[in-house]
Structure 1
Amino acid sequence: MNIFFWTIVAAVVLCHSIHCARVDDEVTRLPGLGVPINFKHYSGFLRAGGTRKLHYWFVESQDSPKDDPFLVWLTGGPGCSSLVALLTELGPFHVTAGNDTLYLNPYSWNKVANVLFLEAPAGVGFSYDPSSPYSYSSDDEQTADDNYLALLDFFQGFPEFLPNDFYVTGESYGGIYVPMLTERVLKRNNSINLKGYAVGNGALDFTLLGNGLIFFGYYHGLWGLALWTRLTQHCCNGSVSQQACDFVANQDPNCLDAVTEAERIISTEGLNVYNLYDPCEDEGSRRIVDPSTSYKYRLWSMVRRSLGLFSEIPSSELGLTPPCVDEASVEDYLNRPEVKAALHVQESPLNWTTCSNVLHYTSQHHTMQPTVQALVDSGRLKTLIYNGDVDMACNFLGDEWFVNTLGYKPTSTYKIWKLGKQVAGFFQTYEGNITFATVKGSGHMVPQDKPAQALKMITNFLTNTPF
């Protein structure tokens, strides 16, 4: 048995009679929130590798913290803040656009679970390294290691939650973060009660996402038959299918020209790549052209790269095309001095931004197929992969193909699931306790676009309730 295990066992025994959370990290007053709440929440820093410190914001369940599942949430980017998810998607507090006040989210995931929002890697949000406070670098492996070490430190401070069912969740580049952290917990720590993981609109395989995007574009009416004929004639091998068409690695000049034209339509004609049917924000918004804004746009740049259009995306180019979002209200709120004091983050030298402008990130993995297969083959875990079906940054076709290429046999047909009497989306289950689900009419951020459906979906997953 390792030292961590026995340390935690002793702490859990002690915590039977007292509440053992980090008392100094409890948030007792949140500026802008004018209504009472029925749960505790905490904010502070966790130890990662080296001298790095990761900021966390932990919200206890509104129902039964002692018994409800425990989720850790990782927003993608890469290099962007999970506090965006807390304050605009699945967290209990949402920022009112334009006036620095908060309101309660009736569809918060802490209605059914304890949720830990982790800002990673260092250089993201308030997470920092005192030995190098203004210059940061990380990659997939280091980020996964730091997330794991921060998680261990969290349970040192909150050992009473160690017996709870534990899940790793996230979205976007979380398609890399989530499986890699789950793998580390599975292999290195038997004291964490790991039950499964969930990935929303995930970057699980960039080649499949790139190929799926071209099919998605044509069948959503983004270009006509003439361009589609060029694409299929020059990029497909005798038939039009996932297996026969290669829009990503095909070196035929005619294919490259056709793919470039398709990508131009998607990227430069004013379409919202994160929700096809949503409008773009005003191009004149004060944050739209800031390279630190819109973590989703960084992922979109990587998907574009998968189509072979360029080999690198300099940070200076990240904001050149309007990303159709404006999250200035969250940034304004979190940088207020009284908010920083309430969250106990004054020690961080960083101003909070949606996406880090001081981090150099190296993406090492372009597919999560081996990692996810290892997780499934462990026989211990539940897998949920879900997609808003009108997202182009991480389209549902690419992620559905990813699930199918894992090689597990379907255990159900592809069928609808409902919220009340309305169709909420479609789902299919597979051997190995895998569920693939879509959310009808949602874009990249499902808990934001379809909050009621997202809450029902995650509740079904956590409680083993059939869709």
Structure 2
Amino acid sequence: MEKMRKSGSVLLLAFALVLASLASASSSSCSEDSALEKDRVQTNLLGQDFNVEFAHYSGYVTIDEEAGRALFYWFFEAAEDPASKPLALWLTGGPGCSAIAYGMAEEVGPFHVKPDGKSLYLNPYSWNQVANMLFLEAPAGTGFSYSNNTNDVLSNGDERTAKDSLKFLQNWFKRFPQYKGRDFYITGESYGGHFIPQLAQVIVRSQKVTGDKSINLKGYLVGNPATDDFLDNVGSFQYMWTAGLISDETYNLLNVFCDFESFLRPSEQCNEILEVASSELGNIDSYSIFTPTCPGSTNFPRNKLLKRLHSVAKMGEKFDPCTDRYAAVYFNLPEVQNALHVNPVVAPSKWETCSDAVKDNWRDSSRSILPIYRELIEHGLRIWVFSGDADSVIPVPSTRYVIDALKLPTVTPWHPWYDDGQVGGRTQVYEGLTYVTVRGAGHEVPLLRPKQALILFRSYLAASPMPTLSEVEDS
């Protein structure tokens, strides 16, 4: 009888543990559902006089409880059948520039800001036509992302940004568990040429240690990327010279006096010739050399070349060089911040498209990302790189030098690709990497050439070559 009582007690204890486990799981699920619903943008935004069928969410994801560090995101489900579409993350460069101001509100997001700074229009070439799009403001101090420890904003760098972005994704997938295991891609531009491969690397390495495949990383797509300090600089000066932006004498002196290997500490002679180069450039938009500048702007300070801390450009299909100014007005409006669940307690007193505090206090910047490319190509990720051919900051020659340094065998030689019977750019396919140029685009390719950028993104997701003339004629 005693044995039966003990056996019964054991069974009751086991049953109680199972019930407690189920209750805990249910509580966790309810908590996640509650957080998800809390992040849903419930009503039309200020100045949104159109309705959309897709859901979108915005808010904070805490990545460091002790420091009180949290990153801000805005997520858009695909316009149609989101359950069948992949998930793509967009990262803007800077460092310290907002993915919401640029990637979302100017380039590939569905909502773009009108010149009045108080209303929106629907982007017909939004990338959420073909993917679920997640925009992340990273690192802390960028956009609405914050830390309760002010030293965090003054000590950002490549390494911590990659780790924080990984932690963000891990926590974001807990809030959006339906996307666990979904095909996942990382996209972006400019100093994203550091952020994107570095994040891909920490994801791959983390999975090797933990075996967790919740983040089903398939590859990355990066435009006009800062990749290798030396090669980026060599290509930039070469492009400026061949485009007629600087004189023969200045170009030759730059090559004599500027030690590209130690550009963070340029000599006095290098600084002097950089000043001459800046004067010869004039007030042009060096990120898009054939388009007008926004009145009152100076777009090519010499420290852009020295530090390789590239802010993004200002371009548009019906060209407007002042688009980031409209975003700065719109996202400072209290009604907009309230609708996007921005916490007024931690919100910046003035929201900025790019943070000088982040940029000027950057602690570590890898001098070359090429070793990461080699590692990830070996891992089998789908890697595409693209360039607007009117950008002089990270121009086509810079990126071609970078790709040449990888010494990849060619699969498909250099050739034009087409859109509506017109050359859209050029492309070359290598073993492990595809390179695409976009004709007439600057540093922010989707802003000046949104249709062609969407064609590029579709081709990338489908792992199919860029369209040829015969394909265009047949269609």
- So what's the TM-score if we normalise by structure 1? 0.82
Matches within 5 A, 1:15-414: 22-29=36-43, 30-49=45-64, 50-84=67-101, 85-132=103-150, 136-189=154-207, 190-225=213-248, 227=250, 234=256, 248-249=260-261, 256=270, 260=274, 263-265=277-279, 267=281, 269-283=282-296, 288=297, 301-305=303-307, 327-346=324-343, 347-350=345-348, 351-359=350-358, 360-379=361-380, 381-414=381-414
Match of 1:425 in 2: 425
| Aligned residue pair count | 416
Whether contact under 8 Å (2:87, 2:183) holds in the other structure is yes
Relative to structure 1, is the Cα distance of residues 262 and 196 closer, same or farther in structure 2, using a 3 angstrom cutoff?
A: farther
Relative to structure 1, is the Cα distance of residues 98 and 254 closer, same or farther in structure 2, using a 3 angstrom cutoff?
A: closer
**1: CA distance, partners of 2:416 / 2:291:** 24
**2: CA distance, partners of 1:202 / 1:257:** 24
SS of 2:84's equivalent?
A: coil
Q: Which letter does structure 2 place at the counterpart of 1:27?
A: V
Match of 1:241 in 2: none
Whether contact under 8 Å (1:386, 1:436) holds in the other structure is yes
User: Structure 1: any 5+ residue segments left out of the alignment?
Assistant: 1-6, 236-245, 290-295, 307-311, 316-323
The structural deviation recorded for 1:448 is 0.4
For residues 18-42 of structure 1, give each alpha carbon's deviation from its aligned partner in whole angstroms, at most 9, with x where no partner exists.
Answer: 9898111000121110111010000
**1: CA distance, partners of 2:329 / 2:267:** 47
Higher helix share: 2
Structure number with bigger Rg: 2
Q: Which letter does structure 1 place at the counterpart of 2:225?
A: G
Whether contact under 8 Å (1:20, 1:158) holds in the other structure is no
The structural deviation recorded for 1:301 is 2.9
SS of 2:108's equivalent?
A: coil
Deviation larger for 326-335 or 145-154: 326-335
The structural deviation recorded for 1:263 is 2.9
Q: Which letter does structure 1 place at the counterpart of 2:231?
A: L
Q: Report sequence identity in percent.
A: 35
The structural deviation recorded for 1:187 is 1.6
Whether contact under 8 Å (1:250, 1:256) holds in the other structure is no
**2: CA distance, partners of 1:180 / 1:250:** 22
Relative to structure 1, is the Cα distance of residues 130 and 406 closer, same or farther in structure 2, using a 3 angstrom cutoff?
A: same
Relative to structure 1, is the Cα distance of residues 297 and 22 closer, same or farther in structure 2, using a 3 angstrom cutoff?
A: farther
Relative to structure 1, is the Cα distance of residues 195 and 134 closer, same or farther in structure 2, using a 3 angstrom cutoff?
A: closer
Relative to structure 1, is the Cα distance of residues 250 and 124 closer, same or farther in structure 2, using a 3 angstrom cutoff?
A: closer
**1: CA distance, partners of 2:382 / 2:83:** 22
**2: CA distance, partners of 1:111 / 1:221:** 39
Q: Which letter does structure 2 place at the counterpart of 1:58?
A: F
Whether contact under 8 Å (2:246, 2:280) holds in the other structure is no
For residues 155-183 of structure 1, give each alpha carbon's deviation from its aligned partner in whole angstroms, at most 9, with x where no partner exists.
Answer: 00001012321001111100000000011
For residues 76-100 of structure 1, give each alpha carbon's deviation from its aligned partner in whole angstroms, at most 9, with x where no partner exists.
Answer: 0011110121011110000001241
SS of 2:303's equivalent?
A: helix
Whether contact under 8 Å (1:173, 1:202) holds in the other structure is yes
The structural deviation recorded for 1:302 is 3.9
SS of 1:22's equivalent?
A: helix
- So what's the TM-score if we normalise by structure 2? 0.80
CA RMSD of superposed structures (Å): 3.1
Relative to structure 1, is the Cα distance of residues 105 and 403 closer, same or farther in structure 2, using a 3 angstrom cutoff?
A: same
SS of 2:81's equivalent?
A: coil
**2: CA distance, partners of 1:266 / 1:382:** 40
Q: Which letter does structure 1 place at the counterpart of 2:108?
A: L
User: Structure 2: any 5+ residue segments left out of the alignment?
Assistant: 1-21, 208-212, 312-320, 467-475
